[in-house]
Amino acid sequence: MSKAHVYKIKMGLGRGTNNYAELAAANNLILFALSKNYLHLQLFEDSKIICNWINKKTQCNAYSLKHIFDETLRVITYFDVF
């Protein structure tokens, strides 16, 4: 039987849009999970836009978020299950 871990993380993200906050928070949580060597991750996100971007249902065309989004997609590839 596998152990499930639930984390809630609170952090200041500075100034930006709601999409920036949602994407940065998701990216930071994904990086945290990877640093703990968790290779199975279920991420719950309340922004449909961010979910669609990550699940590749729509494209991220926000130039100011592209660097975070590209890093997020790159890091996701390290997980066995996402």
Q: Could you say which DSSP state residue 21 is in?
A: H
Where exactly are the structural domains of the chain? 44-82
User: What average pLDDT does range 10-31 have in this prediction?
Assistant: 88
What pLDDT band is residue 2 in, cutting at 50, 70 and 90?
Answer: low
pLDDT for 26-82, tens place per residue? 999 999 999 999 999 998 888 999 999 999 999 999 999 999 999 999 999 999 999
What pLDDT band is residue 14 in, cutting at 50, 70 and 90?
Answer: confident
The string of DSSP letters for 40-61 reads B-----S-HHHHHHHTTSS---
Please indicate, yes or no, whether the overall pTM of this predicted structure exceeds 0.75.
Answer: yes
